[in-house]
């Protein structure tokens, strides 16, 4: 495959759905390239037949800042899936990278996911679970999220979960942790669950609220707390 070069930076196009350029990463690359400018010829940028960058968008930006020529190779027929695959093997794509990529392609489920992450600041697995992770149709929820198949099942319920979890976090600062949040989701889904009752119990018995190692342990803790000194059987609930 022939390695070409040009100083016409306008030829190169960003492929829709690629992750946003990290300025700090560009700066580091530029510093590294400046130490030996000839090395860039041995690591060419990969573009498709439309001159969309498939691999090397950070190198491209670094070379532009240094006003150096761009060495590149053309590989026709490549697209966003190839971008994700190549980047995953180099600088790992995280959930936010995939979410932003699919959101840019106007996938509403990922737009909703990003809105929830930005508003509630919950971990990825918690956000995905609250919105309704989909493990059906083959493959794990992680694979489905990466492959653009994530589906929001109930955004209204997810918002209720998030808002109520935030109220609980005033009494337990680690409420946003994955283990606690997933236990809270189970408790919240119980037909007998009362948010006001849990808050009251947390307020009255703070010593019963403690760190746990797993979601199961947190669920046991929430059940004990919820039912503590509760003689009215109608107000007792079994979460575990």
Q: How confident is the model at residue 75 (pLDDT cuts 50, 70, 90)?
A: confident
Choice between 46 and 83, residue whose per-residue pLDDT is larger: 46
HSE, CB side, 13 Å, CA atoms: give it for residue 2. Answer: 3
67, pLDDT greater than 80: yes
The C-alpha atoms of residue 165 and residue 18 are separated, in whole angstroms, by 33
Please provide the DSSP assignment of 140-200 as one string.
Answer: -HHHHHHTT----S-HHHHHHHHHHHHHHHTT-GGGGSHHHHHHHHHHHTSTT--HHHHHH
CATH class of 4-89: alpha beta
What is the residue whose two structure tokens read 């994530």?
150
Q: How far apart are the first and last CA of the chain?
A: 61
Token readout for 64 is 């532009």
Torsional sign, CA 16, 19, 20, 26: negative
Q: Under a CB-based contact definition with an 8 Å cutoff, are residues 73 and 4 in contact?
A: yes
Over the chain, what is the mean pLDDT?
A: 86
Separation CA 61–CA 183 (nearest Å): 45
Quick: pLDDT tens for 189-206: 999 999 999 999 999 999
Q: What is the pLDDT of residues 177-187, one digit of tens each?
A: 999 999 999 99
pLDDT digits over 133-177, tens only?
Answer: 644 444 578 878 888 889 999 999 999 999 999 999 999 999 999
Looking at residue 229, the DSSP 8-state letter turns out to be T
Cα–Cα dist 194/206, whole Å: 18
pTM > 0.85: no
């Amino acid at each position: 495959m022939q390695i070409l070069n040009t100083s016409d930076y306008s030829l190169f196009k960003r492929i829709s759905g690629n992750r946003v350029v990290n300025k700090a990463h560009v700066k580091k690359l530029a510093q590294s390239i400046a130490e030996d400018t000839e090395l860039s010829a041995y690591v060419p940028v990969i573009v498709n037949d439309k001159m969309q960058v498939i691999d090397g968008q950070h190198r491209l930006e670094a070379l532009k800042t240094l006003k150096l020529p761009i060495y590149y190779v053309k590989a026709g027929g490549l697209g966003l899936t190839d971008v994700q695959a190549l980047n995953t093997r180099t600088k790992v794509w995280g959930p936010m990278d995939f979410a932003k990529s699919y959101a840019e392609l106007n996938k509403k489920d990922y737009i909703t996911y990003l809105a929830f992450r930005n508003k509630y600041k919950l971990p990825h697995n918690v956000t995905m679970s609250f919105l309704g992770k989909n493990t059906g149709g083959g493959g794990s929820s992680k694979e489905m999220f990466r492959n653009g198949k994530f589906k929001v099942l109930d955004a209204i319920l997810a918002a209720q979960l998030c808002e109520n979890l935030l109220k609980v976090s005033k009494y337990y600062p680690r409420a946003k942790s994955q283990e606690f949040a997933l236990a809270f989701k189970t408790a919240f889904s119980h037909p007998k669950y009362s948010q006001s009752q849990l808050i009251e119990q947390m307020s009255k018995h703070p010593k019963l609220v403690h760190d746990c190692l797993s979601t199961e342990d947190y669920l046991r803790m929430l059940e004990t707390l919820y039912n503590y000194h509760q003689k009215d059987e109608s107000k007792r609930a079994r979460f575990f």
